[in-house]
Chains A and B, each alone.
Chain A
Amino acid sequence: MIFRKLKELIRKEILVLLRDRQTIPVLFIMPVALIFFLSLALQGVYADKFTGHQILLVLENATHAPKAVKLEEKISSSKLIQRVQRPDGYDNYMLFEYGKAQAVIFIPEGFDDGAKPVEVEFDPVLDAGYKVAVRSLITGLTAEVVMGIDDIETMASNFIVEKTKKNRNFPSPLQQSVPGWSIFAMFFIAIPMSIGFLREKNAGTLQRLFTYPVSASLVILGKLIPYYLVNLVQFVLMLIVGVYIMPHVINLPFNMGEHPWYLIPITVVVAAASTGFGVLVASLARTPEQASTIAATGAVLMGVFGGIMVPYVVMPLVMKKLAMISPMYWAHQAYLDVFLRDASFGFILPKIIILTLFALGCFYIAGRKVRWM
């Protein structure tokens, strides 16, 4: 009998959820759109810097001395830059303002003698990463020319060996977006969940259920389970989009890592944490409008702090520390452990425990705060 009542409560909740025209777009279409557009946008942030986007460079040589010519040749042959000519009448400001160049290098007369240094000027709005990369290139090439070394990288390899696994610690746009926006969408379940709870409370149907032989815990389960299941479906759908559809759109593979089965325990606790957040909002808010605002603001803030909106890897140190207060951070890092780092379960377990504690904390506070009448 209890199971039949629970089944009916779940069925009712799913029917109500599916007939709410705003719910499906929020829960399913929004994250797909975010994955699609932000993967494209982030492709610039990651791929430009790390997979060979060329900086537009005006290179001017005021001397025909051997070292200056040699340096000009070396810079011109670098894959990091694309040499462009300065249009007539353009000063450096105009070059940058009209996007004709992003950097200007001037080799002055007297460079060969060591009397004058190479001058470098960047577009002031150029990303710091590009500046560092170009500056490092010019420094290395100038050192080669001045010191008469053919290839400074080869010489340095005797002293420095990089052991980093290629592309294994830095998420590709897809690896950032798919788990990130899936988590974000999962936490957005708090909006329909809390609004649904308050609407039912305000309409009196929740109270009416209690006039029948039905326990409060059964009613709560009947409300929780459908949203929990929706969370699981959300993640599976987003993963399918990430693995099978997005690689064809942005031409980047989605690496599932060596232990994709670890996604199951992670997703189970992430769904618990997000439904816990929804229950907490439902118990704290007094009106559907309040619930909507609290849930949306809470999810966005958690996304900002948790490395969903701004990738964790590009955050300053202070923000990286602050990120740890967001459950989305732990969820995202747990997924990245699987997708990027091929981490062992023991490495992921603390994140699972933190998410479980977050969920339990939410349920506990909600249980204390909830007003049924």
Chain B
Amino acid sequence: MKALEISGINFSYNQPVDKSGIAGNEYALRDFSMSVESSQFHALLGPNGAGKTTLMRLITGQLRGYAGEINICGYKNINNEALNLIGYAPQPISVYTTLTAMENLRIFGVMAGLSDKLIKERSAEVLAETGLLSYAQKHVSTYSGGMLRRLNLAVALLHSPQLLLLDEPTVGVDPQSRHHIYELLKKMNTTGVAVVLCTHIMDEAQRLCSRVTLLDKGSVIFSGDMNEIDNLEKFFLERTGRGLRDEN
């Protein structure tokens, strides 16, 4: 079963894209397609400004007005069933810093429609998995960078999603926290959860992922098995060029 199926997506920030996909010249995503099987660890790679975060925002319903189709585990996006199957850890650490970890998890648990009992149980589980259980009642503002990243991930895992979207989940963390996060993601993946990983750490992507989609300027420039690629960083630079990419 496909955890994620995207076909023919066209999206522009400047003007709405109609069914025929005709918009101005500035596409954020153009005729974009990809699919992720259940239990698959899928790398979504591309230089800055390639459209990775835009794609994540489209999948999670934050951005609308696109042409094409997005299906989550057979549910056509955007609807509540589909959204409840997604766990999203955005690149910015998106938690309430004046609240405790438990209070944060409660808010997002209620938004996901979990019962109070389930929120308590799952909060304890995900905090234990991310190594934060002993800090559960501490204000998040007192957390280190690595702890914040792990809490960001814990929020995404709380409602036991079938599709995990991770936008640079290890940026700015120490090797210990990064290792912890890798192990957790591998464990999640073995339980049938599909993982889409956006990262600039090529070594990380090559070690964890079995499939790769390479994206540049809003379009897919490569899609295939990771084992087809010998050196991912070299491959990435060959395909996307060595010139600097500065986002504007």
- A212 CB within 8 Å of chain B: yes
Q: Does A1 contact B (CB under 8 A)?
A: yes
The residues of B that contact A8 with a CB separation of less than 8 Å are: 106-107, 110-111
Q: Are B80 and A213 in contact (CB under 8 A)?
A: yes
Q: How large is the interface on A (under 10, 10 to 19, 20 to 34, 35 or more residues)?
A: 20 to 34
Is A165 close to B, CB under 8 A?
A: no
Proximity string of chain A (346-373) to chain B, C-beta cutoff 8 Å, 1 when within and 0 when not: 0000000000000000000000000011
A163 at the interface (CB under 8 A from B): no
B57 at the A interface (CB under 8 A)? yes
User: Which residues of chain A come closer than 8 Å to B94, judged between CB atoms?
Assistant: 203-205, 207-208
CA distance A244 to B197 in the complex (A): 62
Q: Which B residues are CB-close (under 8 A) to A373?
A: 57, 62-63
Assess the A20–B111 pair: CB atoms within 8 A: no
Binds B, one of A11-19, A39-47, A122-130: A11-19
* B:68-125 near A, CB below 8 Å: 80, 83-84, 86, 88, 90, 92-99, 103, 106-108, 110-113
Give the shortest distance, in Å, between A256 (CB) and chain B (any CB): 38
The distance from the CB of A87 to the nearest CB of chain B, in whole angstroms, is: 64
Nearest A residue (CB) for B80: A213
Give min CB distance, B160 to chain A, whole Å.
14
Tell whether B24 is near chain A: CB-to-CB under 8 Å. no
Contact B110 A4 (CB under 8 A): yes
Chain B residue nearest to A205 (CB atoms) is: B94
- Asked if A259 CB lies within 8 Å of chain B CBs, one says no
Taking the complex as formed, is B192 at the interface, i.e. its CB lies under 8 A from any CB of chain A?
Answer: no
Q: How far is the CA of A5 from the CA of B116 in the complex (A)?
A: 12
Docked CA distance A184–B90 (Å): 39
* Among A1, A205, A207, A214, contact of B96 (Cβ-Cβ < 8 Å): A205
Q: Once the chains are docked, how many angstroms separate the CA of A140 from the CA of B207? A: 102
Given known contacts A4-B110, A204-B90, A373-B57, A211 and B83 CB-to-CB distance under 8 angstroms: yes
Residues in chain B near residue A19, CB distance under 8 A: 98-99, 139
Q: How far apart sit A203 and B141, CA to CA, in the bound complex (Å)?
A: 13
Contact A208 B98 (CB under 8 A): no
Within the complex, the shortest CB–CB distance from B78 to chain A, in Å, comes to 9
Identify the closest chain B residue to A9 (Cβ).
Answer: B107
For the complex formed, measure the closest distance between the CB of B16 and the CB atoms of chain A, giving whole angstroms. Answer: 15
B62 with A203: CB separation less than 8 A:
no
Answer whether residue A210 sits at the interface, using C-beta atoms and an 8 A cutoff.
Answer: yes
**A15: nearest residue on chain B (CB-CB)?**
B99
- Known A-B contacts A20-B98, A373-B57; the reply to A212 vs B92 at CB < 8 A is no
A29 at the interface (CB under 8 A from B): no
Q: Does A324 contact B (CB under 8 A)?
A: no
A301 interface hit (Cβ, 8 Å): no
- Contact present for B99 and A16 (CB under 8 Å): yes
* CB contact under 8 A between A213 and B83, given known A204-B94, A207-B94: yes
Known A8-B111, A16-B98; judge A210-B92 contact (CB<8 A).
Answer: no
Q: Which residues of A contact B80 (CB under 8 A)?
A: 213
Is there contact, CB below 8 Å, between A213 and B96?
A: no
Residues of A within 8 A of B86 (CB): 211
Q: Is A209 an interface residue (CB 8 A)?
A: yes
| Cβ-defined contact, B95 with A214, below 8 A | no
B window 37-90: CB within 8 A of A: 57, 60-63, 80, 83-84, 86, 88, 90
Report Cα–Cα, A15/B99, bound state, in Å.
Answer: 7
Which A residues, 207 to 266, have Cβ-Cβ distances below 8 Å to chain B? 207-214
- What residues of B have a CB within 8 angstroms of the CB of A213 in the complex? 80, 83-84, 111-113
Interface string of A86-118 (1 = CB under 8 A from B): 000000000000000000000000000000000
CA distance A8 to B83 in the complex (A): 19
Compute how far the CA of A166 lies from the CA of B51 in the bound complex, rounded to whole angstroms.
73
Closest to B63 in A: A373
What residues of B have a CB within 8 angstroms of the CB of A1 in the complex? 113
How far apart are A209's CB and chain B's nearest CB, in angstroms? 6
Tell me which residues across on chain B come within 8 A of A205, comparing CB atoms.
94-96
Given contacts A16-B96, A213-B83, contact A207 B62 (CB under 8 A): yes
Residues of A within 8 A of B90 (CB): 204, 207-208
A312 to B103, CA, bound (A): 47
Tell me, in angstroms, the Cα distance from A172 to B61 when the chains sit together.
Answer: 56
- Min C-beta distance of A1 to chain B, whole Å: 6
Q: Are B88 and A208 in contact (CB under 8 A)?
A: yes
Q: Are A209 and B111 in contact (CB under 8 A)?
A: yes
CA distance A15 to B111 in the complex (A): 17
Q: Which of B93, B95, B98, B155 has the most CB of A within 10 A?
A: B98
CA distance A213 to B112 in the complex (A): 7
Nearest CB on B from A192, distance (A): 12
Closest residue of chain B to A18 (Cβ to Cβ) is B98
A203 touching B111, Cβ below 8 Å: no
**In the complex, residue of chain A having the shortest beta-carbon distance to the beta carbon of B141:** A19
**CB-CB < 8 A to A208: which residues of B?**
88, 90, 94, 108, 155
Contact sample, A vs B, 24 pairs, CB 8 Å cutoff: A4-B110, A8-B111, A9-B107, A12-B96, A12-B107, A15-B98, A16-B96, A16-B98, A19-B98, A20-B98, A203-B94, A204-B90, A204-B92, A207-B62, A208-B108, A208-B155, A210-B60, A210-B61, A211-B61, A211-B88, A212-B84, A213-B111, A372-B62, A373-B62
What 5 A-B pairs come out closest when comparing CB atoms?
A: A204-B94, A213-B80, A212-B111, A204-B92, A211-B60
